[in-house]
Amino acid sequence: MAGIRTLPLITLLGVLAACSGFGPATIGPFLLDVNGATAPAGPVGSTVIFQGSFFGSTQGSGQVLFTNALGFTTLAAPIANASDWGASAVVTTVPTGAITGPVAVQANGLTSSAVIFTVAPTVSSPASFTPSAVTWAAGANLPSAVSGAGVAFAQTTGYVYTVGGAGSGGAPVASVNFAKVGMTGTIGTWAGTTNLTTAVAFPAAVIATRFNSAVLSTTGYLYVLGGATSSSGTSTALVYRATINANGTVGAWVPVTSLPVALHALSATIQYGSLYVVGGATSTNAPQTTVYRAPIQQDGSIVTWLSQSFALPAPRARLGLGASGLYLYAFGGDGTAVTPNDSVPSSAQVTTVYFAKLNPNTRDVATAWNPTTVLPDARSAHTAVFGAGSVLLTGGLYAGASTHTSEAIYAPLNADGTVGTFTTAAPAASINSLCSCNLFNHSATGYLDGNGAFHVLIVGGDDVSAAGTRRVETFTY
């Protein structure tokens, strides 16, 4: 009958148990998602969030189970701290010996339904960022010289992208280019695809896939966020997304919910199903402290931007940003106003490195941004790439930039979120040796080759020693 309402099943069971004189029925754990992703994946040792309900407020005899080498869901994952087990979220790491297959939560003597988890290839080790292992190679040139472009890698299809940037005279461009990653990590010929609706320089670019978010698309979406619409730094708040096609091209650029503030020289990253925007500069080139989060929807849309309670301790633009496990990191940047094309090392550059922890339930920034090991030199307009438990910073504006004294520096990321001591890399082949240039306002991303090995791609940029000379080259290792 249309006027009849039914009790929820859990409530109904409780009522029946009370009426019959029996205690409440044991409720098994319900697994809602893993890592906020449609097709969660990660290498051995990576941090994984299991979210749902009825896990129990304490672990007790509860376990998180991965698939073992024999194909059985019986391999228990480690729970490092008592606080990592909660009634609606459990934080663990992919255990040694796990293979791709079902994962589940066991609690109250019962086991949840399973979700398929892909155990990704493990980046060789932090040694991949040591001076002896870093050897740069020249890649395929871009179709045209550019600095301040967005760059991103689509793991689903194996293509890398450049989006927008500053071209001749610092004027923003609308071009979007893509190239195929080869089996050994080489980058194929760059080709153009659907141009941006508006030319922008110094935007942020990210890619949402089934591996890092809740999108249902098998190929994912490319996003461009903010940017400058003039060489002087006139900022836009517009955010667009385009569907990634299997052949590497992208579809039409569709506007999604704009940023709360118009920004250029901002940084963005996707972690556990949410898109984070940190810092950036307004149309007056004033750096900002704001941090925003947007949950990515199944269709790739963005419903709202959530201003995070914990902003950066100080304003930053042209900073390095990244995420590792439950931690976000902000490296250096400009602390005072400069134009996005500014090429002179000055007091605007800072040495500070901050990190903040995410709430595994809400994905919001849950702690204040804490200072950790400072950079050896005040630096901005550089890049930061994460891999193998380390961070690699390249180029930028700093005191020795014109002589590439610290072309690349790297540091380990510690389990408690702090950053270890930075070491200057001494590569067998430096970027400078390949181009006789000292890059700043370049772009970078980490990517996997066809064999699952990790690489770094450097794209375009400007030259400290010949400011205004945009670069057409790319570099990989």
pLDDT tens digits for the chain (477 residues)? 333 323 333 333 333 333 334 445 568 899 999 999 999 999 999 999 999 999 999 999 999 999 999 999 999 999 999 999 999 999 999 999 999 999 999 999 999 999 999 998 765 544 445 555 778 999 999 999 999 999 999 999 999 999 999 999 999 999 999 999 999 999 999 999 999 999 999 999 999 999 999 999 999 999 999 999 999 999 999 999 999 999 999 999 999 999 999 999 999 999 999 999 999 999 999 999 999 999 999 999 999 999 999 999 999 999 999 999 999 999 999 999 999 999 988 899 999 999 999 999 999 999 999 999 999 999 999 999 998 788 999 999 999 999 999 999 999 999 999 999 999 988 889 999 999 999 999 999 999 888 888 899 999 999 999 999 999 999 998
Q: Does 316 fall in a domain? A: yes
Burial 405-442 (b: 16+ CB within 10 A, else e): ebbbbbbbbeeebbbbebbebebeebbbeebebbbbbb
CB of 336 within 8 A of CB of 349? no
Residue 163 shares a structural domain with residue 111: no
DSSP codes of every residue in 222-278: EEEE--BSSTT--BB--EEEEEBPTTS-B---EEEPPPSS-BBS-EEEEETTEEEEE
In whole angstroms, what is the distance from residue 236 CA to residue 201 CA? Answer: 10
- Which residues fall within 8 angstroms of residue 154, CB to CB, at 6 or more apart? 160, 161, 207, 209, 219, 220, 222, 244
pLDDT at 280: 98
- Which residues fall within 8 angstroms of residue 376, CB to CB, at 6 or more apart? 351, 406, 409, 422, 424
pLDDT at 452: 80
pLDDT at 248: 98
Total residue count of the chain as it appears in this document: 477
- Which residues fall within 8 angstroms of residue 452, CB to CB, at 6 or more apart? 120, 121
Helix, strand and coil percent figures for the chain, each rounded to 5? 5, 40, 55
Q: In what order do the strands lie in the sheet with 221-225?
A: 204-208, 221-225, 239-243, 254-256
Q: Does 351 fall in a domain? A: yes
CB of 62 within 8 A of CB of 76? no
CB of 279 within 8 A of CB of 315? yes
Q: Does 2 fall in a domain? A: no
Overall number of domains in the chain: 2
DSSP element (H, E) containing 90:
strand 89-93
For 14, list phi and psi in degrees, rounded to 5. Answer: -65, -40
Q: Does 276 fall in a domain? A: yes
CATH classification at residue 82: 2.60.40.10
pLDDT at 11: 35
pTM: 0.93
pLDDT at 7: 31
Residue 189 shares a structural domain with residue 307: yes
> Given 119, 148, 172, which residue is the final one in a domain?
119
Residue 30 shares a structural domain with residue 84: yes
Residue 329 shares a structural domain with residue 210: yes
pLDDT at 344: 87
Residue 291 shares a structural domain with residue 425: yes
Q: Does 444 fall in a domain? A: yes
> Given 119, 154, 183, which residue is the final one in a domain?
119
Residue 164 shares a structural domain with residue 56: no
Residue 56 shares a structural domain with residue 165: no
CA–centroid distance for 161 within its chain:
15
Report the phi/psi class of residue 60: left, alpha or beta, with left for phi > 0 and alpha for psi in -120 to 50. Answer: left
Q: Does 4 fall in a domain? A: no
- Which residues fall within 8 angstroms of residue 22, CB to CB, at 6 or more apart? none
> Given 84, 119, 154, which residue is the final one in a domain?
119
pLDDT at 459: 98
Residue 290 shares a structural domain with residue 406: yes
pLDDT at 152: 98
pLDDT at 101: 98
Reading the block at residue 452, the tokens are 């699952």
CATH classification at residue 222: 2.120.10.80
pLDDT at 332: 98
Residue 96 shares a structural domain with residue 70: yes
Q: Does 1 fall in a domain? A: no
CA atoms within 13 A on the CB side of 398: 28
Residue 409 shares a structural domain with residue 379: yes
238: containing domain: 126-476
Residue 262 shares a structural domain with residue 360: yes
Q: Does 3 fall in a domain? A: no
In whole angstroms, what is the distance from residue 234 CA to residue 246 CA? Answer: 35
Residue 112 shares a structural domain with residue 150: no
CB of 223 within 8 A of CB of 200? no
Of 158, 156, 207, nearest to 182 by C-alpha is 158
